Amino acid sequence: MNQIGTGKQEVILIVDDNPTNIQVLSDLLKEYGFKVLVAKDGESCLQRLEKVRPDLILLDVLMPGIDGFETCRRLKASPGTKEIPVIFMTALADPVDKLKGLTIGAVDYITKPLQHEEAIARVNIHLQLRNLNKQLEEQNATLQQEIRSRKLAESALRLSEEKFAKAFRSSPIPITISTLSEGRFIEVNESFCTITGFSQSEIIGHTSAELNFWVKLDNHIQIIQLLREKGVVRNQELDYRIKSGEVKTVLFSAEIINYGGQDCLLAIPNDITERKKNQTAIAEANREIKRLTTLDSITQIANRHRFEEYLGQQWRKLVLEPNSLSLILCKLENFQHYNNTYGYAAANEFLRTIAQIISKVSDNSDNLAARYDSEEFAVILPNTRDSKAIKLANTIREEIKKLVHHTQLEANQQIALTIGTASIIPNGDSSPIETLIIPAKQVFSETY
């Protein structure tokens, strides 16, 4: 079901020229509670967006007429559509194509053929991120208004106590005045009463300690010390306990003023609890996006995207700091027979076990084990000579060999592992594809 929790049905626009892809993806999204709109090419997408504003667009890259890249570029150039998140759907494996899509404004990409769980997870994450950003923008606008109100209150104070009192009472931000000597409240406005849950009569004449406002008493002591040294405190983030016992996060500002002939403390504890929650949620969403874009959904080790990214990083590093870079490629032969015999769930569990073995054998802070293709795994080995790579490959072979005999399979259908290695000292005149990946595949040899 739709996991966003915004109280309304989220609208997804699918842009694809393939009727089968549209039907499969529409059924999946509707099953999870989304409303689905469809456009069959870039032109009809742009025309449709003149009348409707979806919450997210799933955009195919390769289409007749204007392709997905040009469609996205036009969307991001229009003020009315530039904020709609776009996720590319692509069968293109070249990282350059993926980088191009992200560069022109897409938030993510989904590789075809689609993994249903991954597609729904990415859609949910980006819808959640968009909603949280909207809330944060609204709260920032409110905060700016509150800042203007605070400046108005400060100006009113300088003009006259009468004008200050009027601004004080009507301000939408919480303001208090307390004696500097004892810290007893002598004035609080309605906004302060609203966020704390106390009435004015319950606050006036009492101290913040008596009302148990401070979650950490040390914070209060530090505030008073800073005020005595500098006369002013600005935007200190603190925990503030209200009448119900709930703890709120406040942005605390204060300064020493003369009020009624005595030194007093003018304080503004501005409630930013919801903003902090949204910032935390956005950070978690970004971490989830990072996880989705780097981990294979079935085996939970690095995916093809992360493999290509890390191989490129290590190649560039070892061009500058010359050392050996090695690669191990493993392929499960006859795996389709296993899948057909034991079923999808068992096949996935077998792949996870293989991934765990490869990860354990190659465990090193610099090494990276990845699922390279549906039935292929890879290990990137920086600063590793060919002899050590071959040794690790043999260890992987021996460990996996223990798993492969399956009584329900014919002899010619048993799973076999082919494995290849390649090593090179990277240089600027070649690429990892031609010097590592292709050679490793060419020396694939059946090990059992």
Q: What is the mean pLDDT of the chain?
A: 86
DSSP 9: -
| AA identity, residue 406 | H
Query: If we measure between CA atoms, which residue out of 181, 196, 189, 202 comes closest to residue 156?
Result: 189
Give me the mean pLDDT over the 362-367 stretch: 87
- The pTM of the full predicted model, rounded to 2 decimals, is 0.50
| The residue to which tokens 């100006």 are assigned | 155
Residue-wise pLDDT tens digits, 85-124:
999 988 766 666 677 778 888 888 888 888 888 888 889 9
Give me the mean pLDDT over the 9-23 stretch: 92
Query: If we measure between CA atoms, which residue out of 50, 28, 51, 23 comes closest to residue 38?
Result: 23
Q: Are the C-beta atoms of 193 and 199 separated by less than 8 Å?
A: yes
Give the relative orientation of helices 273-294 and 116-159 as an angle to the nearest 10 degrees: 150
What is the token pair recorded at 365? 């802070």
φ/ψ bin of 312: left (φ > 0), alpha (ψ from -120 to 50), beta (otherwise): alpha
Q: Are the C-beta atoms of 392 and 305 separated by less than 8 Å?
A: no
Residue-wise pLDDT tens digits, 231-240:
888 888 999 9
| pLDDT at position 158 | 58
pLDDT band at 447; cut points 50, 70, 90? very low
Which domains does the chain possess? 11-114 (3.40.50.2300), 147-276 (3.30.450.20), 295-446 (3.30.70.270)
Cα(202)–Cα(373) distance, integer angstroms? 68
DSSP 207: B
The values of phi and psi at residue 312, to 5°, are: -65, -40
Give me the mean pLDDT over the 166-194 stretch: 88
Query: If we measure between CA atoms, which residue out of 255, 256, 251, 214 comes closest to residue 235?
Result: 251
Give me the mean pLDDT over the 288-304 stretch: 86
Give me the mean pLDDT over the 278-289 stretch: 83
| pLDDT at position 406 | 58
3-state secondary structure of 321: coil
Give the relative orientation of helices 273-294 and 304-320 as an angle to the nearest 10 degrees: 80
| AA identity, residue 303 | N
| Terminal Cα distance for the chain, rounded | 45
Strands 376-382, 368-373: pairing kind: antiparallel
Cα(231)–Cα(152) distance, integer angstroms? 20
Cα(48)–Cα(43) distance, integer angstroms? 9
| pLDDT at position 446 | 44
How long is the chain? 448
pLDDT band at 262; cut points 50, 70, 90? confident
